[in-house]
């Protein structure tokens, strides 16, 4: 892609930091500016080479940006995008890395033919959502990696009001970071990740809660794998559970019905049914690779 002059990243944690490192490693921008609240975190971001400069002043940080990526926690993305749009150059494209998308799209009213004036971003700025499917349970720029997006999917969620050139820019950008870009509506994205990401988190968390401490010494790799994501930050996940509530409840209810089927089969000693469930599970899991 044509080299950008300035990329601004709002929120230089694990994802924001990894984006900065990846942009710098691949020479996609002349400079990367990291914007955050906490000096310590910004210092770490500079130290690991995620950004060239940092600032706690959002207005100053985005003043010359060609592209702004909001990587704060999903509950804050809407407010942060607005603040960015009020302070960045006119006609700038703003994206994010949030793991739920519908709320943001609905707020900016992008999928209607006549967005209300309040819904539009000021001065010609546009928002187009992204979600790089990478991260897991890690927190903070100290764990950031320039290769985090290599071979991973990034979903971009255009609406009927998205400019083709904006989609092209983001597609080129994420592809340059090593991602495979998948185009989906925000609604379809949220329904899918409720199943593939939010349901597993809920299940892993409940599993981690369910085992009494006296049994900890018997815990082996299987339990550790199955609950690994439960180490993720409660703050982040509280927001996700709030923002994608209906899809997550639907996923939980679907999971609950399947779990009840297995429970009934175990209770009745129905070996054929147990084997059918375990075989489907194995086939699905084998198909997904390691």
Beta bridge partners of 69: 9, 95
Phi/psi for 237 (5° steps) reads: -75, -30
Reduced to 3 states (helix: H, G, I; strand: E, B; else coil), residue 217 is: helix
Residue 288 in the binding site for a second copy (CB under 8 A): yes
* Residue whose CB is less far from a second copy, 60 or 152: 152
Q: Which stretch binds a second copy (CB under 8 A): 6-14, 40-48, 58-66, 241-249?
A: 241-249
The token pair that represents 229 in the structure block: 């994501």
The token pair that represents 109 in the structure block: 């009213």
Residue 15 in the binding site for a second copy (CB under 8 A): no
Q: Which stretch binds a second copy (CB under 8 A): 4-12, 35-43, 66-74, 234-242?
A: 234-242
CB of 138 to a second copy, least distance (A): 10
Using CB atoms within 10 Å of the CB of residue 210, give its burial: 0 to 12 exposed, 13 to 18 middle, 19+ buried: exposed
* Residue whose CB is less far from a second copy, 30 or 79: 79
> Are 19 and 97 contacting, i.e. CB atoms less than 8 angstroms apart?
yes
Strand order in the sheet with 129-132: 129-132, 153-157, 180-183
Residue 150 in the binding site for a second copy (CB under 8 A): no
CB of 93 to a second copy, least distance (A): 24
CB of 183 to a second copy, least distance (A): 12
Positions 108 through 147 that interact with a second copy (CB under 8 A): 133-137
Tell me, residue by residue from 170 to 189, as one string, x for binding to a second copy by CB under 8 A and - for no binding.
------------x------x
Distance of CA 35 to the CA centre of its chain: 18
C-alpha closest to that of 29 among 65, 56, 62, 61: 65
Tell me, residue by residue from 190 to 219, as one string, x for binding to a second copy by CB under 8 A and - for no binding.
--xx-xxx-xxxxxxxxxxxxxxxxxxxxx
DSSP tally for the chain: helices H, then strands E: 12, 9
C-alpha closest to that of 204 among 110, 137, 277: 137
CB of 5 to a second copy, least distance (A): 32
* Residue whose CB is less far from a second copy, 164 or 218: 218
- How far, CA to CA in Å, does 76 sit from each of 83, 202, 253? 11, 21, 28
Residue 267 in the binding site for a second copy (CB under 8 A): yes
CB of 98 to a second copy, least distance (A): 15
CB of 131 to a second copy, least distance (A): 9
* Residue whose CB is less far from a second copy, 24 or 189: 189
Which of residues 4, 63, 153, 176 is near a second copy by CB under 8 A? 153
> Are 125 and 101 contacting, i.e. CB atoms less than 8 angstroms apart?
no
* Residue whose CB is less far from a second copy, 167 or 223: 223
Residue 228 in the binding site for a second copy (CB under 8 A): yes
Q: What angle do CA 26, 158, 248 make, to 5 degrees?
A: 100
Positions 36 through 75 that interact with a second copy (CB under 8 A): none
Positions 242 through 261 that interact with a second copy (CB under 8 A): 242, 245, 248-249, 251-256, 258-259
Residue 29 in the binding site for a second copy (CB under 8 A): no
H/E stretch holding 286 reads helix 271-288
Question: How far is residue 118's CA from residue 107's CA, in Å, rounded to a whole number?
Answer: 9
């Amino acid at each position: 892609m044509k080299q950008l002059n300035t990329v601004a990243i709002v929120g230089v944690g694990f994802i924001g930091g990894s984006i900065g490192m990846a942009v710098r490693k691949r020479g996609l921008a002349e400079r990367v500016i990291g914007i955050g609240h906490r000096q310590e975190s910004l210092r770490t971001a500079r130290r690991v080479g995620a950004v060239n400069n940092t600032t706690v002043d959002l207005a100053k940080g985005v003043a010359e940006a060609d592209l702004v990526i909001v990587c704060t926690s999903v509950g804050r993305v809407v407010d942060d995008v607005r603040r960015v749009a009020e302070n960045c150059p006119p006609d700038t494209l703003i994206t994010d890395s949030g793991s739920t998308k519908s709320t943001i799209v609905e707020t900016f009213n992008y999928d209607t033919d006549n967005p209300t004036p309040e819904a539009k971003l000021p001065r010609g700025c546009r928002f187009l959502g992204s979600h790089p499917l990478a991260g897991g349970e890690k927190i903070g720029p100290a764990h950031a990696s320039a290769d985090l997006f290599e071979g991973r999917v990034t979903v971009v969620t255009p609406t009927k009001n998205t400019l083709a050139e904006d989609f092209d820019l983001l597609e080129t950008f994420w592809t340059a970071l090593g991602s495979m870009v998948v185009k989906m509506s925000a609604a379809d994205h949220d329904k899918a990740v409720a199943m593939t990401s939010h349901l597993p988190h809920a299940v892993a968390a409940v599993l981690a809660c369910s085992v009494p401490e006296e049994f900890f010494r018997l815990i082996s790799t299987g339990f550790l794998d199955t609950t690994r994501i439960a180490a993720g930050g409660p703050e982040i996940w509280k927001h996700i559970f709030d923002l994608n509530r209906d899809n997550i409840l639907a996923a939980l209810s679907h999971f609950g019905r399947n779990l009840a089927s297995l429970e009934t089969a175990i209770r009745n000693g129905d070996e054929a049914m147990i084997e059918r469930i375990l075989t489907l599970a194995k086939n699905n899991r084998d198909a997904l690779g390691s």
